[in-house]
Amino acid sequence: MGKDKFIAYTLVAIQVVCLVLILVTGWPLADYIPLLIVQIGGGMLGIWAIIIMGRKNINVTPLVKQDAHLVINGPYAFIRHPMYSAVLLTVWPLIIDQYSLLRLAAALILTIDLIMKMLYEENLLRKHFAGYEIYMSRTKRLIPYVI
């Protein structure tokens, strides 16, 4: 296994462990209605991103498929990583709503992991797509018009 694959699969493994830990330590939906609305919005964003990305482009690792094409429409017209945004929008309401130190630690590790995964993926995307730098200059990473 090459260095890129090792890094990619390690980042995904950390992500999966954190998500499972969060899900098995409490109810998967927030009880407080405003937090549930944020969670539902995150789920809808994730579904929209998956539909727009298309089956050929979907990849849980940050590795870029050889036959991938750069998707810049749908939620990708505003943010470069809507699926990561969706994960954070569905997880953090759970932590706020059903707080425990274990869940908080898992969510913090997950957030750091996703940031590292995002930065790593962007580096690979820059190398793979000639127009990625231009796309980066027109969009934000996670939150439209903010970051």
* Per-residue pLDDT tens digits for 48-83: 999 999 888 899 999 999 888 999 999 999 999 999
| CA 4 to centroid of chain Cα atoms | 19
State the chain's mean pLDDT as an integer.
95
Q: Give residue 101's pLDDT.
A: 97
d(CA 50, CA 2): 27
Task: Give 102-142 pLDDT, tens digit per residue.
Answer: 999 999 999 999 999 999 999 999 999 999 999 999 999 99
Cβ proximity of 87 and 114 under 8 Å: yes
Q: What is the 3-state secondary structure (H, E, C) of 18-85?
A: HHHHHHHCCCCCCCCHHHHHHHHHHHHHHHHHHHHHCCCCCCCCCCCCCCCCCCCCHHHHCECCHHHH
Residue 57's pLDDT is what?
87
The answer to whether residues 94 and 103 touch, using CB atoms and an 8 Å cutoff, is yes
